[in-house]
Structure 1
């Protein structure tokens, strides 16, 4: 099975690169496919501006430029900062870094191409950019408009390395990728198939395709977790016996009648299900979920009354 093959089977991954991938917990081709881009870290070259196009309205904008020089300085309040002057074919801009961000800025070398996001305002001589986030770019990046991923890196790995190897893994997946969800579930929930979702989480065709890919994998994670919980529940039911309570008696009815309001239809339904679970010899596994003020506490009180009238003790634990 190709997805279990070591990453060294991919072109360009030798022993050294494999060790750097291992630092990211990537050992197999399948691990690489499931090494998703950093949360929210995609470059949309269609939205990149030139420095001349940046609006000085203190809004967050994205542009591409090359490092010209890096300097350290002090503000009016003697607060230290690092300024990075960048340029493109249309002009210059100055990026300002404070606090812990200065270390990252000081490592930038002249002629390094950057994708820059930050708040733009007019400075004394150039456009000034604060709250800066920068991503180094390969020299040939951005020539073709599109959305590309940004991955976490280790060692001497580059974005180009990861993108190339992921692309190769996706070519293998296109031929033979097993589906992890039942076909009926995929169809009923209108989810993309696993290959399409993988392709669009790495190299999205559009922002909508990326949204649907993320939705698919969130659903998949919760679905598999639920399957595991159901399996555990089934095993617990097979191997353990709980306390079998009698049907609702006088105490439960007294509590119900003593309430200064009548239970809603939803509250009555929740109580019926919990009451029947308590009357079963199998252990109850249930979460009662609802908004603030929806009546969860009154249902808990009825369960306590049922336990007491069956000769047991009970308590409500409130963790907030």
Structure 2
């Protein structure tokens, strides 16, 4: 639990943001660093494809009502709330920060933290594995498509014509990883600790390039403390609404406690690991540093809030088990 709350990876991200603020990439270094980030993005999605077992994902689709709830929260409820946040523009949110909120809302769910919190809360772990994995697979198609639809309607972001080429850049490495998964999947899982460092290193590299570009363009002159405070507030309200809606919907539709836990934790997460490289590809040539800020803040907010919520579910389960346990016989 303490590891989740501390989130050393977030500390590394903050360090990278600080480094890019002091030593941004500029001039002749931009092109080689951009090539390196393209390779890093391909590697991230290749490893995602190599890790996911097709048998596990296919087997989980039998619980279709639960998965439908998670997908609706991830790719319908979140985008609708993101569109509603547009009412805050330009009075409270700048157009660039709102673009980040909208991008955050169309991302897939996380895999690792969704499963970890579901396990801590005594939820349906097998369904969480399948639902979170499937969310990331569908996100390869749906996130670029939703970005194309929502941002084009606002007159920004990639055009619908560009979505096809974006899909190739994101999907092709993933498909190659899936094709090779029967041969290398076991090795990838066994070396997860080392390859996890490669994964995180790739994301940090993409963040460094994105924020370097933003800093050179005057990010910290454009962004005030009030902007950051408003952004945190929007992220908190967004997460609170999704947690409330998913909990109420699961209970209203008669899901078991275990399934409710899975729906709540898988449906309320947004993936930083997928979002960072996706932003680099989807918003190529734009201010990706500002666009990524809401996602980076949301990442830590969701970890802290869901850590508390998971412990609440776990404590409630323990109390119920104690109440069900028969009293010892009197002598």
Shorter-chain TM-score range: under 0.3
Q: Name the structure, 1 or 2, with higher relative contact order (CA <8 Å, separation 6+).
A: 2
| Structure index of larger Rg | 1
